[in-house]
Amino acid sequence: MRLRRRRRPLPVSIILPPRWRRQGAILLTILAVAAVVVCERSGLTPLTTPRQTALPDSADRDDLDRYHDRTFRVVHVVDGDTLDIDAPDHGKPKTRIRLWGIDTPEVAHGGQPDRYFGPEAKAFAEKMLDGKDVHVVLSPKRTRDKYGRLLAYVLLERGGTMFNEMLIEGGRAYADTRFRHSYEKRFEDAEKRARQSGVGLWTNVKPEDMPKWRQRSEERDRKKRGSQPATTDAP
């Protein structure tokens, strides 16, 4: 049976985070598994991690088939980290995407007011994404959140700038440390640079302005620093 031509893969720097590329033996195993699946599923190339050698479950495989390494049009921006693309999703006319690994401040909804810097983050997302084509990259470890939204890294163009990271670099989003993902260290480093530079929300943000999960994280960090012994320069 003749196989259909596979799409040209994304650059390794986008699909595989740096720590994967350093582990040659693991990468060879991944490629071997992918080759078998290509033969069986005519074009699907699942990704994996050193911690997860099993193939994705059926729901995740379906998402990888339908969305991974594909380009879609953004039809609506909900807020800074949530958007809709022009792809049907199980009876719905469009697919809702939640940007992986970040959290932007909330905008007013359900009777709740805007959170600090929420409108600014949404306005930036609208300017950069609304009505434009974006390239979607998924993680094989998890493709949906508990609300059924597609978890994705969104690139402004194939192989180009990752919008998730752009939001953090500009101080318009927090690096979300609640969940493990491929770019967590990279996002945390980007946040540190934004915070040190005082850009975006880091100019005037107060602890009470932060999301609840981040307030708890900041409090844990303060307690940890307070428990460390004082240092001295004395010999």
CA atoms of 82 and 106, how far apart (whole Å):
10
Q: Considering the candidates 106, 120, 165, 191, report the single residue annotated as catalytic.
A: 106
Whether 172 is catalytic: no
Q: Which is the catalytic residue, given 149, 172, 186, 214?
A: 149
Place of tokens 């997860």: 52
- Expressed in angstroms, the distance from the first to the final Cα of the chain is 76
What span, in angstroms and rounded, lies between the C-alpha atoms of 7 and 116?
A: 42
Indicate the burial class of 119 (C-beta count within 10 angstroms; 0-12, 13-18, 19 or more).
middle
Exposure on the CB side of residue 109, measured as CA atoms within 13 A? 7
- Is residue 88 packed enough to be buried (19+ CB in 10 Å), middle (13-18) or exposed (0-12)? exposed
4 catalytic? Reply is no
DSSP 15-63: HS-HHHHT-HHHHHHHHHHHHHHHHHHTS-----BTTB-SPP-HHHHHH
Tokens of 74: 């953004």
Which residue in 98, 115, 158, 214 is the catalytic one? Answer: 98
CA distances from 63 to 5, 103, 213, 223 (A): 20, 22, 28, 41
Closest to 141 (Cα-Cα) out of 82, 55, 38: 55
Distance between CA atoms of residues 66 and 86, nearest Å = 12
Asked if 51 is an active-site residue, the reply is no
Write out the catalytic residue numbers: 98, 106, 149
